[in-house]
Structure 1
Amino acid sequence: MSALAGRTRAVLDRALAVYAADPAAAAVLRAHRDRLDGPLRVALAGTLKAGKSTLLNALVGEQIAPTGTAECTRVVTTYRDAPSARITAIPRDGTPPTDLPVVHRRGALVIDLGGTAERLRELRVDWPSASLRAVHLIDTPGADSTRPGVAGRARAFLSAEQEDEDGADVVLHLVRHLHDADVAFAETVGERAARGIGPAGTVAVLSHADEIGGGRLDALMTAAQVARRYRADPALRRHCRTVVPVAGLLAETARTLRATEFAAVRDLASTPREDVEDLLLSADRFLDGRFPEALERRERRALLDRFGLHGLRLATTLVRRGATDSAGLAAELVRRSGLEDLRAVVGTQLVAHGDVFRARAALGALGRVLHTVPSPRGGGDTAELAAAVERVLTGAHEFAEQDALVALQARGGPDEEARRLLGGDGPGATARLGAPSDAAPDDVRGLALDALARWRRAGEDPRADRARADVARVVVRSVEGILAGRSGG
């Protein structure tokens, strides 16, 4: 447990003693206390067919979230690591949860709700997976669903004030292209986060990056250029931590590639290149064109569903260039999908700071309880608790770092070193200093002393505006923490 989590837990324990006779308030506080040491809760949000379930499968490396051409996610669904598989349906009316059958079909988990979706508040899927130990992934319904009540469930979940264990810590917002509604979503989450309400921030994901640039082999390079342009957008960068391009379908298929699929791609790649390129000009040509080798239309359909046109073009090219087995092809497809870049962002910018997000959410929830629920034992207790909350909020440098990172986002510009020193690439000393992870202690100390001198000068520069001087002072404290051995990792 981090020192910040320990201080927050101590305040929550005192609050639980004060509100022991108020079941509702105690439940809120207990849920936040229990979450302090738990996995980061990451919600995947976006419109219908933005690729939320597909990306979730790619992150986990297994097909556990239903995908397809129809609307698959109609209930907020949390995926958690557990010793054994279990699917639990939680009704909206408060009646006891019920277990659903765990069914596999063609290597994928099947969740059959029948006609009960409108009566459910949440689904919980327990699944043995190392990928779900550090994070719980939460699949949300399409924000533009036309089914009665479905879009409302997504909005209600994402706008919740995190007053129970079901809230999200951060959001991956999946978009095909960034429209005004997407910017408005990031603004809403960002403004609420600034008040300590709801998710602590948003990462935008261009989840169909392979479709940008017409699905050419260099589509991901084009998507990376688009993402850089979005990251520089003043309206977005104030509220969005970053923008990451990912070919979600390609990533899911690569992480779950089957031997039979590799064999089919290898056979396709053995066909003369001109013929393959002609067949892959469109989905109709691929499904209905004449192949030199027999490949049933059903098999072509399955390949197209799994890879997409871009994925088939890329996979056949890689096989021609030397990918000789399914493991080699899968590794290269993952590398080119952008998935590892997203995983790195989740790890360094979200999971590594999870204790900060959870502590701020817990203190915010306690503040709202103090403001709205009278103390059963008199006003003195609430005044003392409010003072304790304020001491943690003002005394924790981790909160100052997060606020400074947000300020840097809003400003834009070339303050890469400041972002790194504030923990933007991870809280460890070497990550902050841009040094190799195995750097010698004397080298780390030398880099920290150099950075300290630079940023002290920046904070005292009379030409610096107020915002930059404020950031510089926070950076100085962060570097002092490195020298004192207080940085994480």
Structure 2
Amino acid sequence: MTETAGRDGPGARTRTLLRRALDAYGDSPQAAGWLRHHLERFDEPLRLAVAGKVKAGKSTLLNALVGEEIAATDAGECTRVVTWYQDGPSPRIVLHPRHGPPRQLRTRRGEHGGLVVDLEGEDPEAVDRLTVDWPSSGLRTTSLIDTPGIASLTADASDRAGRFLTPDDAPGQADAVLYLMRHLHSADARFLESFHDRHVARATPVSTIAVLSRADEIGAGRLDAIDSARRIAARYRSDEKLSSLCQTVVAVAGLVALSGRTLRQAEYLGLRALAAAGPEVTEALLLSADRFVHPPDSLRDRLGPDAPDAAARNALLKRLGVFGVRTSLAALRDHAPDAAQLSAELVAVSGLDELREVLATQFGERRDLLKARSALLAVELVLRHEPRPAAAALAAEIERVVAGAHEFAELRLLAALRARSVPLPPEALAEAERLVGGNGSRAAARLDLDPEADVGTCRAAAVEALGRWRRRAANPVASRATVDACAVVVRSCEGMLAVLTAS
């Protein structure tokens, strides 16, 4: 658990193992460089890859997470290249070709301050990746990696995304994956299956979060569109197949989230002028996108002298979508928020806050564990490709790290619980998932308590849960699989209780 991680946690033990492997392979430049790279990764921000099919809204959601327009959202050449976004003291773009040294590209901002990336004539198929440094608090703890669309129109772009996310014989470069889908398509399921592996050092459901993206487009952009999307996401979360392949499913309207985080004063004023025209006028306008931009004369004459013109209305539609415009107009009429309040409301309704909370609890709290799995696989790769006398001892140490780290046992059990391979009744199954960290690794999340619950409340709940699961483990008619699962849950409860008692 996060609370018990420290000198004896899997992260610390894996670092020690990496150093021992470096000592053994110091005379091999390739192996040493590979091991040193993974040792250094422990001190880097979490690497989160954003993946999905073409037009799933990857770049839009990435921009919303950062709070600035730094990723290209059109279908241009840059969207065919793996692009890393990381915090830096000043904006900088570096192109890394497949062959040859990297070179810095010109950095320039667009009309509204966003980043413009130009490959300067370089063929996208000749580019290995782009790295973008951008000063941003949102990138200090997590580097974001925008990947080409799965099942892209160009085979090269699609293959590049697949190779990056699911390499055949190496740990992936990302610590975790945010997978976007408009609905659960067969191509989405195939990708999630390819990313999933039972090996403890590879991807497991806990390292993947699925996002039902472009949620505002469900229900033709009605005001209840996000509620409909959340119900669909909840249905996906209860699907046994999908729950065995990803941690959870969250509904997010990326376009609305981005607009909320970057709302401009001119856009606010335009929306306010439209709201003044009255709901009967704007609802008639919003019957279709074309009608909103090019209304009949009878409607256009009722908009009022301050209403935005056709070009401005078209820009609003591109920035906010039909749902975002409707939501903004409803808020402006209901309680007339100022621009800052409207921005906050758009972000809140978009589902972005929920996604960021999930990222913090599921990925942020498991940062060292996620990195440890990649590092263990990296050591295994070296031992397999360059066998030598020291390899046997290092392989045995890997097994000891995996077997001795309760966090890995929790991940294995969580995968089994989500695959419904442990014979437990539904209520016990749900509690077991929580107690081993399915909803987050902190005690309150494991115990299904309010995040602000005090230590005494958490301790009492942990004692109660511990007793309940000890009784289940001692049931003489329970199967071996059930007893083993209960033992892991008991140890999780004991670990929580030890930390809470010491607090």
TM-score w.r.t. structure 2 length? 0.91
Residue equivalent to 1:152:
159
Counterpart selection for 1:100 from 83, 100, 105: 105
Distance 1:203 1:148 in 2: 25
Residue equivalent to 2:398:
389
Residue equivalent to 2:342:
329
**Which of 319-328 and 285-294 deviates more?**
285-294
Distance 2:359 2:169 in 1: 20
Structure 2 gaps of 5+ residues are none
Cα distance change of structure 1 residues 99 and 238 upon mapping to structure 2, 3 Å threshold: same
For the Cα contact (< 8 Å) 2:195–2:203, is it kept in 1? yes
Distance 2:109 2:225 in 1: 34
Distance 1:243 1:435 in 2: 21
Distance 2:319 2:153 in 1: 26
Distance 1:358 1:54 in 2: 27
Cα distance change of structure 1 residues 144 and 114 upon mapping to structure 2, 3 Å threshold: farther
Residue equivalent to 1:400:
409
Residue equivalent to 1:457:
471
Cα distance change of structure 1 residues 423 and 234 upon mapping to structure 2, 3 Å threshold: closer
User: Is 1:422–2:436 an aligned residue pair?
Assistant: yes
Give the alignment of 1:220-369 within 5 angstroms. 220-289=226-295, 290=297, 291=300, 292-293=303-304, 294-369=307-382
For the Cα contact (< 8 Å) 1:427–1:488, is it kept in 2? no
Cα distance change of structure 1 residues 441 and 307 upon mapping to structure 2, 3 Å threshold: closer
Paired residue type of 1:122: R
For the Cα contact (< 8 Å) 1:459–1:473, is it kept in 2? yes
Q: Deviations over 1:18-50 (max 9, x none)?
A: 111111111211111111232211111111111
Distance 1:442 1:232 in 2: 33
Q: Secondary structure at the match of 1:41?
A: strand
Distance 1:386 1:258 in 2: 57
Q: Secondary structure at the match of 2:395?
A: helix
Cα distance change of structure 1 residues 170 and 264 upon mapping to structure 2, 3 Å threshold: same
User: Is 1:25–2:25 an aligned residue pair?
Assistant: no
Paired residue type of 1:300: R
Give, in angstroms, the shift of residue 437 of structure 1: 4.5
Residue equivalent to 1:119:
126
Residue equivalent to 1:173:
179
Cα distance change of structure 1 residues 323 and 352 upon mapping to structure 2, 3 Å threshold: farther
Residue equivalent to 2:218:
212
Give, in angstroms, the shift of residue 154 of structure 1: 0.8
Cα distance change of structure 1 residues 437 and 173 upon mapping to structure 2, 3 Å threshold: closer
Cα distance change of structure 1 residues 67 and 384 upon mapping to structure 2, 3 Å threshold: same
Residue equivalent to 1:411:
420
Paired residue type of 1:393: V
Paired residue type of 1:237: S
Residue equivalent to 1:446:
460
Percent of aligned positions with the same letter in both sequences?
Answer: 48
For the Cα contact (< 8 Å) 1:162–1:198, is it kept in 2? no
Counterpart selection for 1:8 from 10, 14, 24: 14
Q: Secondary structure at the match of 2:27?
A: coil
Give, in angstroms, the shift of residue 234 of structure 1: 2.2
CA RMSD in angstroms, aligned pairs only: 2.2
Q: Secondary structure at the match of 1:352?
A: helix
Give, in angstroms, the shift of residue 68 of structure 1: 2.8
Q: Secondary structure at the match of 2:266?
A: helix
Distance 1:167 1:8 in 2: 17
Q: Secondary structure at the match of 1:143?
A: coil
For the Cα contact (< 8 Å) 1:35–1:358, is it kept in 2? yes
Paired residue type of 2:42: L
For the Cα contact (< 8 Å) 1:186–1:240, is it kept in 2? yes
Q: Secondary structure at the match of 1:348?
A: helix
Q: Deviations over 1:323-365 (max 9, x none)?
A: 4211111111111111111111111111211211111111111
Paired residue type of 1:402: L
Paired residue type of 1:452: L
Distance 1:418 1:148 in 2: 43
Task: Tell me the matched-pair count.
Answer: 482
TM-score w.r.t. structure 1 length? 0.93
Paired residue type of 1:450: E
Distance 1:96 1:38 in 2: 23
Residue equivalent to 2:487:
473
Cα distance change of structure 1 residues 405 and 323 upon mapping to structure 2, 3 Å threshold: farther
Q: Secondary structure at the match of 2:96?
A: strand
Cα distance change of structure 1 residues 70 and 312 upon mapping to structure 2, 3 Å threshold: farther
**Which of 433-442 and 132-141 deviates more?**
433-442
For the Cα contact (< 8 Å) 1:42–1:170, is it kept in 2? yes
For the Cα contact (< 8 Å) 1:43–1:139, is it kept in 2? yes
Distance 1:356 1:148 in 2: 34
Q: Secondary structure at the match of 2:196?
A: helix
User: Is 1:68–2:81 an aligned residue pair?
Assistant: no
**Which of 152-161 and 301-310 deviates more?**
152-161
Give the alignment of 1:39-78 within 5 angstroms. 39-68=45-74, 70=76, 72-78=78-84
Distance 2:321 2:502 in 1: 42
Q: Deviations over 1:242-300 (max 9, x none)?
A: 11111111111111111111111111111121110010111110110143235322211
For the Cα contact (< 8 Å) 1:162–1:365, is it kept in 2? no
Q: Deviations over 1:227-254 (max 9, x none)?
A: 1111222221111111111111111111
Distance 1:271 1:354 in 2: 50
Cα distance change of structure 1 residues 444 and 146 upon mapping to structure 2, 3 Å threshold: closer
Q: Secondary structure at the match of 2:445?
A: helix
For the Cα contact (< 8 Å) 1:429–1:487, is it kept in 2? no
